[in-house]
Structure 1
Amino acid sequence: MLRIFIFFSLVICLGSCTSKFARIQKSNDFEYKYKMAEEYYKEKKYTFAQQLFESLTPYVRGTAKYEELFYMLAYSYYYQEDYVNAENLFKTFTETFPASNRTEECDYMRAYTYYKQSPKVDLDQANTTKAAGLFQAFISTHPSSARVKEATDLIDACREKLELKDYKAAELYYSLGYYKGAAVSFGTLLENYPDSKHGEEYKLTAIKAYYKYAELSYEEKQKERFEKVVSECADFKERYPDSKLLSSINEYKSQANNFLKSIKK
């Protein structure tokens, strides 16, 4: 019985709120409409606020209230998790009000909307790449901003996700036995993320892939491909002279040289 009472109470309340909002929408008193839009915004009823702000835009444009309305409209979309429209509005805000003290914030929020749209690592990372680029542009445009540290941290988070996606692609090549593709992919991974904490592992896996590729090659191709293994081992030692993985590298180098000696014989 109590549940039924609560259900009907909610229905009545919702109906009352909708009815009130409909009356506000139909009002020709724009001052009252603007005041109620602000009230809805403060109460976090962003759907109602957004609709009122949009209906008021033609009447407020060019007045002192236009900047405030545009700012709240952008956030109304953002808080509804409509990041596509929010991004467009934050961008338009910075273009429409370049001298505003809110322009820096909206510039940052534009980048952040792309970050919020960044999907799981297995999916297309266009929004992740866009977010990293816009955060970098924000830092360049606002080097003294208090948001620079957070923007830098988010760039790092974006790059880690992009790196992980590229790593998974390279690892898939290796696990499927496409060793040449794996070697090239791990090499590209190292070039794209030279400061990665996994750089040594990437280089070692590339060497493993080159070795397997050479091992499975036709005899007439093996000399050239085992020489590539030896060359990659030398490059590893030059890059990481104090690496804990040097024993593995020396083993691959030794085995490759043994193959080359046997080929000469």
Structure 2
Amino acid sequence: MKRLFYLLICVLPFGACSEYQKVLKSEDVSLKYNMAEELYKEGKYQKALRLFEQVVPKYRGKPQAERIMYHYANTYYQLKDYYVASYQFDRFVTSYPKSEKKEEAQFKAAESYYHLSPRYSLDQEDTDKAVEKLQGYINTYAEEGKHLESANKMVIDLRTKKERKAYEIAKQFHHREDYKVAINAFDMYLVDYPGSAFREKALYYKLESQYLLAIGSYDFLVKDRLEQAEEYYRLYKKYYKTEGEHLEDANEIAEDIKLRLEKRN
């Protein structure tokens, strides 16, 4: 009995594999469709995909087409092939605007771009596309969307990523001691992202850039530039009077500015 049991274990997978290959090569479209659906239900997406690829063109315009197209798109999604998944879900939404699966498809198309968004230091074209698509979903299903909470969280995450990229670019100029460019970059950043999580850092490094620019300037420029740095300190303190990651450093800079200006008066 044990030998028979082990023999069955060894033989059955080969039988299943042989059956799959037979269907894959078959001319019977309905046979392919039925096996694709079965494999899809079992979560065997890679095998299901090969059959769906053959089946999809044959069922265009037929009653089963809507179901097949959704499963086809979702198979790519499950396999984490997000570029193709987003494209296929978009096609589904366009082709079946009245489908009960439309909302799900629209959300997954947007979510696919969210997964394609790279780390903040790289080009953010896919991030912009993801925000656009997620915002489109939010606007369309503002009152009763099943995935509104997830979509809003993703948008916040993506926008924070873009904010960080802009902040890091400005900070790079600061670290390179290109202080004039750094100050302009921080100014632009604060205008573009007034509620950013990196706002305090931007205000502080703008102050520090102006301070370092001042003390490294020709003598006839120092006073005006120190006074400008003093203005930036007051701006920082306007928002971070008692708490702030850089409050202590900002106060030390302000004390040094005060001493330097007193010596000049």
Pair in the same fold by TM > 0.5: yes
The residue identity in structure 1 corresponding to 2:174 is Y
Partner in structure 2 of residue 3 of structure 1 = none
Larger deviation, residues 66-75 vs 124-133? 124-133
Q: 2 CA distance for matches of 1:115 and 1:234? A: 39
The residue identity in structure 2 corresponding to 1:27 is S
Partner in structure 2 of residue 119 of structure 1 = 118
Q: 2 CA distance for matches of 1:107 and 1:207? A: 45
The residue identity in structure 1 corresponding to 2:65 is Y
Q: Could you tell me how far 1:75 is from its partner in structure 2?
A: 0.9
Q: Could you tell me how far 1:168 is from its partner in structure 2?
A: 3.0
TM-score (norm 1): 0.83
Partner in structure 2 of residue 175 of structure 1 = 175
Q: 2 CA distance for matches of 1:23 and 1:49? A: 14
Partner in structure 2 of residue 135 of structure 1 = 134
Partner in structure 2 of residue 54 of structure 1 = 53
Q: 1 CA distance for matches of 2:156 and 2:238? A: 27
TM-score (norm 2): 0.83
Aligned residue pairs total 256
Partner in structure 1 of residue 205 of structure 2 = 205
- Report whether the alignment pairs 1:189 with 2:172: no
SS of equivalent residue, structure 1 residue 226: helix
SS of equivalent residue, structure 2 residue 43: coil
Q: Could you tell me how far 1:243 is from its partner in structure 2?
A: 4.8
The residue identity in structure 2 corresponding to 1:132 is V
Q: Could you tell me how far 1:200 is from its partner in structure 2?
A: 2.2
Larger deviation, residues 16-25 vs 205-214? 16-25
Q: 2 CA distance for matches of 1:14 and 1:183? A: 66
Q: 2 CA distance for matches of 1:194 and 1:68? A: 46
Q: Could you tell me how far 1:235 is from its partner in structure 2?
A: 2.9
Partner in structure 1 of residue 103 of structure 2 = 104
Partner in structure 1 of residue 91 of structure 2 = 92
8 Å contact kept, 2:183–2:209: yes
Deviations 1:121-154 (A, max 9, x none): 3332322232122211211111021211111111
Deviations 1:185-210 (A, max 9, x none): 33333333322344223201210111
SS of equivalent residue, structure 1 residue 138: helix
Q: Could you list the runs of 5+ residues in structure 2 that have no partner in the other structure?
A: 1-5
Partner in structure 2 of residue 226 of structure 1 = 226
Q: 2 CA distance for matches of 1:16 and 1:183? A: 70
Q: Could you tell me how far 1:87 is from its partner in structure 2?
A: 0.8
The residue identity in structure 1 corresponding to 2:191 is E
Q: 2 CA distance for matches of 1:225 and 1:68? A: 68
Identity of aligned residues (%): 31
SS of equivalent residue, structure 1 residue 135: helix
The residue identity in structure 1 corresponding to 2:137 is F
Q: 1 CA distance for matches of 2:124 and 2:204? A: 26
RMSD (Å) for aligned C-alpha atoms = 2.8
The residue identity in structure 2 corresponding to 1:160 is T
Q: Could you tell me how far 1:155 is from its partner in structure 2?
A: 1.1
Q: 2 CA distance for matches of 1:14 and 1:211? A: 73
Q: Could you list the runs of 5+ residues in structure 1 that have no partner in the other structure?
A: 1-5
